[in-house]
Amino acid sequence: MSLSQIQKLATQTLFAVENGNNLSDYLAQLVLQNPDLSAQDKGMLHDIAFGYQRFSGSLKFMLHKMLNKPIKNKELEYFLLVALYQLNHTRNAPHAVVNECVQHIGQVGRGQYRAFANAILRRFLREREHLNKACQHHNVAKYNLPIWLQKTLQKQYPKHWHTIVAAFLTHPPLTLRVNRRHLNAQQYSDILNKNGLDGTLLDDYAIKLNTPVSVAQLPHFQDGWVSVQDFGAQQAAPLLQPKNGERILDACAAPGGKTGHLLELADCEVIALDIDEKRLSRVAENLTRLNVQAALHTAPAQDLEKWWDGRLFDAILADVPCTASGTIKRNPDIKWLRRIGDAQKTAQQQEILLDNLWTTLKPQGRFLLATCSLFDEENSIQCQKFLARHCDAKLIEEKMILPSEKQDGFYYALMVKKT
323-347: burial string, b at 16+ Cβ within 10 Å, e else: bbbbbbbbbbbbbbbbeeebbeebb
> In the chain, what are the domain boundaries?
3-141, 145-172+230-419, 173-229
Q: Pairing relation of β-strands 313-319 and 247-251?
A: parallel
Measured from the Cβ of residue 310, the count of other Cβ atoms closer than 10 Å reads 7
Residue 1: which pLDDT band, with cuts at 50, 70 and 90?
Answer: low
Residue 383 catalytic? no
Fold of 173-229: Alpha-Beta Plaits (3.30.70)
Fold of 145-172+230-419: Rossmann fold (3.40.50)
Rounded-to-integer distance, Cα 312 and Cα 317, Å: 14
- The answer to whether 3-141 and 173-229 have equal CATH topology is no
Domain 3-141 top-level CATH class = mainly alpha
The tens digit of pLDDT for each residue in 93-102 reads 999 999 999 9
Residue 44: which pLDDT band, with cuts at 50, 70 and 90?
Answer: very high
The tens digit of pLDDT for each residue in 122-159 reads 999 999 999 999 999 999 999 999 999 999 999 999 99
Q: What is the pTM of this model?
A: 0.94
> Which residue among the candidates 135, 372, 383, 391 is catalytic per the annotation?
372
Handedness of CA 19, 25, 29, 31 (dihedral sign): positive
Amino acid type, 371:
T
Residue 243 has pLDDT above 90, yes or no: yes
- Dihedral over alpha carbons 338, 339, 344, 347 (to 10 degrees): -10
Portion of the chain with pLDDT greater than 70, in percent: 100
